[in-house]
């Protein structure tokens, strides 16, 4: 069986090279994003303390939940832009891109104002100490400044990726992350003439980095000469928005249900002690670092599948999905080996608190076992999204999270007192079941008939 798999992979060298070539900038971009989260976690944990780390975790959970839910038009935009790119229809490509930016701008402004007004009520859902709550609000009040720029940056990155350019988002992310890390160091501790701002400094450096990122995207897409140079538009084109809405809405529902499950999980984790909360945030960063290459492969796969369908080559689209998913599983196995081999060394990089380390060590084995299924689901979902089959992905994700993951996590943590490791018990079970389901969907090739 293994020999046949190796022989098959060798016979697909050209396709694998194509996937990796397009994936590498996206992988590096995802790695940079994750390394930023890692750097933030380490700096906040060691410079300020576990209470601040917990606060940043709760604040970012809400911020990213909102952004991922309401910037879901980017999913439809990638499908439509990559299809237009494959058809060499650059006028349509630009129209879709411009409308996607307008939608992200409107939604970004609306959501930012709403969550700022109701921030105390939003964070009141968590059962956290007064100190953690105070730090959460302090951090959120500043991080909200960068929310609209982040909405726009996500939309601009989606436009570039859909048109085959994964290098520019990577470069911009590298610059923004460098600014953020340097800003953290200078503002948290108050280096030189700068004031010591603590958790407010971490928030300010993050917002500044997001503003810089969006300015760079604006220069690339609106000022610099290129084949996809955009125009500033503030009107809604129904002919473009209607299919964009149709393709994107399942993704928005998927993200709403996914992020809602994470918020519920956060509420559950907030019932535990601060050491458990801090360990959970560290483990999430560790896991995020592990699957970022799969996210990069998923982004490239979505573009390549959409392009192949634009060229009317269903076989090529199908092969791309299979080979990409195999690469994701291989990566997952490698990361599982690393987690099993050096769990303590990984955790000590984030914290020196013995109670946090002890809690985290218990869960590391299950993070390892989770890797192959997690990486497979990420890449295969990208293949289906690239084909515009967002409804199927939404359905499977929703069922996985709300029928298996959330209920079992709740039972194991709140009733059986099994601690944060229970999160990964439940996740492993959910991936075992739904990896089979999503594979069967892709094999059916029903996605090839989706109209974009």
Give residue for tokens 């996206």.
26
- C-beta atoms surrounding 272 within 10 Å: 18
- Given pLDDT bands bounded at 50, 70 and 90, which one contains residue 446? confident
Q: How many domains does the chain have?
A: 1
Question: pLDDT (tens digit, 9 = 90+) per residue, 46-105?
Answer: 777 777 777 777 787 777 777 777 666 677 787 788 778 777 788 888 888 888 888 888
Give me the mean pLDDT over the 284-288 stretch.
Answer: 81
Within 13 Å, how many C-alpha atoms sit on residue 66's CB side?
23
Give me the mean pLDDT over the 304-322 stretch.
Answer: 85
The yes-or-no verdict on residue 18 having pLDDT over 80 is no
- Given pLDDT bands bounded at 50, 70 and 90, which one contains residue 389? confident
Q: Give the per-residue pLDDT at 429.
A: 94
Distance CA 442, CA 433 (A): 15
110 CB contacts (<8 Å, ≥6 apart)? none
Distance CA 287, CA 322 (A): 24
Distance CA 24, CA 300 (A): 9
- C-beta atoms surrounding 159 within 10 Å: 27
Of the candidate ranges 4-18, 50-64, 159-173, 263-277, the one whose mean pLDDT is the lowest? 4-18
Per-residue DSSP letter, 12: T
Distance CA 345, CA 336 (A): 15
- 367-to-275, 292, 349, 422 alpha-carbon distances in Å: 18, 14, 17, 11
The yes-or-no verdict on residue 1 having pLDDT over 60 is no
Give me the mean pLDDT over the 317-330 stretch.
Answer: 89
Q: Which of residues 78 and 1 earns the better pLDDT score?
A: 78
- C-beta atoms surrounding 53 within 10 Å: 30
Whether the CB-CB separation of 328 and 378 falls below 8 Å is answered with: yes
Whether the CB-CB separation of 383 and 305 falls below 8 Å is answered with: yes
Q: Give the per-residue pLDDT at 38.
A: 64
Q: Outline where DSSP puts E strands in 306-345.
A: none
CA 342 to chain centre: 25
Q: Give the per-residue pLDDT at 394.
A: 85
Distance CA 162, CA 85 (A): 8
Distance CA 428, CA 268 (A): 18
Distance CA 186, CA 192 (A): 8
Instruction: Look up residue 357 and give its two tokens.
Output: 């380390």
Instruction: Look up residue 194 and give its two tokens.
Output: 């700068």
Question: pLDDT (tens digit, 9 = 90+) per residue, 161-184?
Answer: 878 787 888 889 889 988 988 888
Please give the residue range of the domain that contains residue 127.
Answer: 2-449
The yes-or-no verdict on residue 434 having pLDDT over 90 is yes
Give me the mean pLDDT over the 386-409 stretch.
Answer: 89
Q: Give the per-residue pLDDT at 438.
A: 93
Give residue for tokens 């559950």.
268
Instruction: Look up residue 327 and give its two tokens.
Output: 């690469």
Instruction: Look up residue 396 and give its two tokens.
Output: 């499977």
Per-residue DSSP letter, 174: H
Portion of the chain with pLDDT greater than 90, in percent? 19
Q: Give the per-residue pLDDT at 400.
A: 93
The yes-or-no verdict on residue 208 having pLDDT over 70 is yes
Q: Give the per-residue pLDDT at 3.
A: 65
- Given pLDDT bands bounded at 50, 70 and 90, which one contains residue 217? very high
* 0.85 surpassed by pTM: no
- 156-to-63, 71, 171 alpha-carbon distances in Å: 19, 11, 13
Highest mean pLDDT among 199-208, 337-346, 370-379: 370-379
- Given pLDDT bands bounded at 50, 70 and 90, which one contains residue 337? very high
Q: Which of residues 407 and 450 earns the better pLDDT score?
A: 407
Of the candidate ranges 10-24, 35-49, 431-445, the one whose mean pLDDT is the lowest? 35-49
Instruction: Look up residue 55 and give its two tokens.
Output: 């606060």
Whether the CB-CB separation of 430 and 401 falls below 8 Å is answered with: yes
Give me the mean pLDDT over the 226-232 stretch.
Answer: 77
């Amino acid at each position: 069986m293994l020999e046949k798999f190796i022989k098959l992979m060798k016979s697909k060298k050209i396709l694998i090279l194509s996937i990796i070539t397009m994936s590498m900038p996206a992988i590096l971009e995802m790695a940079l994003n994750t390394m930023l989260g890692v750097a933030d976690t380490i700096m906040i944990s060691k410079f300020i303390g576990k209470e601040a780390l917990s606060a940043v975790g709760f604040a970012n959970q809400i911020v990213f939940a909102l952004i991922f839910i309401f910037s879901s038009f980017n999913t439809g935009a990638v499908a439509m832009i990559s299809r237009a790119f494959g058809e060499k229809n650059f006028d349509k490509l630009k129209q879709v891109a411009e409308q996607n930016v307008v939608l992200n701008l409107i939604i970004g402004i609306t959501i930012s104002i709403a969550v700022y007004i109701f921030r105390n009520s939003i964070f009141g859902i968590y059962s956290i100490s007064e100190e953690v709550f105070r730090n959460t609000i302090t951090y959120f009040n500043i991080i909200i400044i960068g929310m609209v720029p982040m909405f726009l940056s996500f939309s601009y990155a989606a436009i570039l990726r859909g048109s085959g350019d994964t290098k520019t988002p990577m470069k911009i992310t590298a610059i923004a992350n460098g600014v953020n890390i340097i800003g953290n160091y200078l503002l948290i501790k108050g280096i030189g003439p700068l004031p010591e701002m603590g958790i407010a400094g971490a928030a300010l450096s993050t917002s500044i980095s997001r503003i810089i990122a969006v300015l760079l995207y604006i220069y690339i897409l609106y000022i610099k000469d290129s084949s996809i140079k955009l125009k500033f538009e503030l009107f809604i084109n129904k002919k473009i928005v209607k299919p964009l809405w149709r393709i994107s809405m399942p993704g928005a529902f998927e993200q709403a249900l996914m992020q809602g499950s994470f918020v519920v999980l956060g509420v559950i984790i907030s019932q535990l002690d601060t050491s458990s909360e801090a360990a959970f945030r560290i483990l999430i960063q560790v896991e995020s670092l592990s699957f970022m290459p799969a996210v990069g492969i998923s982004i490239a796969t979505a573009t390549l599948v959409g392009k192949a369908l634009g060229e009317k080559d269903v076989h090529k689209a199908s092969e791309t999905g299979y080979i990409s998913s195999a690469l994701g599983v291989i990566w997952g196995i490698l990361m599982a080996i690393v987690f099993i081999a050096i769990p303590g060394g990984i955790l000590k990089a984030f914290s020196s608190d013995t109670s946090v380390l002890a809690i985290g060590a218990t869960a590391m084995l299950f993070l390892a076992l989770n890797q192959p299924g997690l990486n497979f689901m990420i890449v295969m979902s990208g293949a289906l999204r690239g084909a515009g089959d967002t409804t199927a992905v939404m359905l499977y994700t929703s069922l996985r999270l709300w029928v298996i993951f959330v209920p079992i996590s709740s039972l194991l943590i709140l009733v059986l007192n099994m601690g944060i490791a229970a999160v990964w018990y439940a996740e492993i079970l959910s991936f075992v079941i739904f990896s089979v389901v999503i594979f069967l969907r892709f094999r059916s090739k029903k996605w090839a008939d989706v109209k974009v």
